[in-house]
Amino acid sequence: MAEGFILADEPRLFDRLEAQPSDSLLALIGLAKADTRPEKIDVGVGVYRDAAGGTPILRCVKAAEKILLETQETKSYLGSEGDARFTELIKPIVFGGQGARDDRIVGVQTPGGCGALRLGAELIRASGGGTRIYVGQPTWPNHTPLIGAAGVEMADYPYYDKTTRTVLFDHMMEALGAARPGDVVLVHGCCHNPTGADLDLNQWRELADLIAARGLVPYVDLAYQGLGNGLEDDAAGTRLVVEAAEQALVAQSCDKNFGLYRERTGALFIKASSTDQARVTFGNLIGLARTMWSMPPDHGAAIVRTVLETPELEADWRAELKEMLARIRGLRARLAAFDPRLAYIDEQNGMFSMLPLSPEAVVELRASHGIYMANSGRFNVAGLSDENVDYFARAVVAKLPEADRG
């Protein structure tokens, strides 16, 4: 650039940027990686691990990739909706047979559950009307920044008491009872992250009744289907609230139940009030997706499509998913049996639970035992190996607050 066009004291473009706080969970992953102690335990990162502590590629995924290697003829663009067949095959898994036939429900492939959540938030913002999104507390750490960055108004509702380890259902319903018609309620479909404390089926029914009575819009984050109590049971609450509502959103992810973490494979489904409105909504989804990622990555969706289109691979996927579920349930049972103060863990579901530990106690566990978990006490049950469960439990119990020591 010619000299003299910019004054010497004028800040240049990137000079105006301010330093950003680091993501606490990403920082935790870095700390765990840097720790050279052989006994260290990383239960901060949200990935499934097998008995030996590895994160395996599923057999069905390997087989599907081999099929794709031998048969895939092009890497050409698929379009902003992604792999339409993938979305079609996922739809009955999420909504059941009746829901799969509902033309008011439309979906597009997204870059993982995160992409689905953000696309849904963008659709809500584009819809206008001053809609608020109610978010339970505590929730997955990225929910609020991921959705809030779309520019929608957000409001909290109480969900879980870390001290008593109970769902604050009455408080939740009271808060949602003040929501305006058209407001959105973000709920975890199953395996509540970060607490592991799910609503029971009767509570889901009450929530569905409230949603229907007040004209609310459920926004279900379904990231762990199959890892709580099985594919069908884990979808039951989602189906209840979607059926009760005139309009709904469901952000679905295959990252956990297919082990496709780095492939970022998900879908956003929208239930509209009519088939005509569903077509309009679908067009808006395509337009919004085009402005964000243009077209989602294909490989993960192609894997899932291949698995679900191949009967023997689908059967193997369901078998592997049951094996993963059994391992998680077994780990929960072992932790609960170690000490009565951990008994509540076996009553919860999915990969995560929350320990009643102070941030100071979490830091002490990190320093003295090489145990890495979020400062909130959120830990990944599935991050434990068969060999370190007792080591983890013993260290944790020693740090429980006095009120929990009996």
Q: Tens-digit pLDDT profile for the chain (406 aa)?
A: 455 555 667 778 898 899 888 777 778 888 888 988 999 999 998 999 999 899 999 999 999 999 999 999 999 999 999 999 999 999 999 999 999 999 999 999 999 999 999 999 999 999 988 899 999 999 998 899 999 999 999 999 999 999 999 999 999 999 999 999 999 999 999 999 999 999 999 999 999 999 999 999 999 999 999 999 999 999 999 999 999 999 999 999 999 999 999 999 999 999 999 999 999 999 999 999 999 999 999 999 999 999 999 999 999 999 999 999 999 999 999 999 999 999 999 999 999 999 999 999 999 999 999 999 999 999 999 999 999 999 999 999 999 986 565 4
Residues 6+ apart with CB under 8 A from 55: 47, 48, 49, 259, 261
How far is 331 from 393, CA to CA, in rounded Å?
Answer: 11
Nearest to 118 by CA among 239, 255, 249, 298: 249
How far is 119 from 266, CA to CA, in rounded Å?
Answer: 11
Residues 6+ apart with CB under 8 A from 15: none
Q: Is 205 left (phi over 0), alpha (psi -120 to 50) or beta?
A: alpha
Q: What is the pLDDT of residue 141?
A: 87
Q: For the chain, how far is it from start to end, CA to CA, in angstroms?
A: 72
User: Among positive and negative, which fits the CA dihedral 245, 251, 256, 257?
Assistant: positive
How far is 182 from 98, CA to CA, in rounded Å?
Answer: 25
Q: What is the pLDDT of residue 6?
A: 57
Q: What is the pLDDT of residue 406?
A: 45
With contact defined as beta carbons under 8 Å apart, do 375 and 354 qualify? Answer: no
Total residues found in the chain within this entry: 406
How far is 345 from 380, CA to CA, in rounded Å?
Answer: 12
C-alpha Rg value of the chain to the nearest Å: 22
The CA distances from residue 374 to 31, 129, 170, 355, in Å, are: 12, 37, 27, 10
Catalytic positions, written as ranges? 140, 221, 223, 256
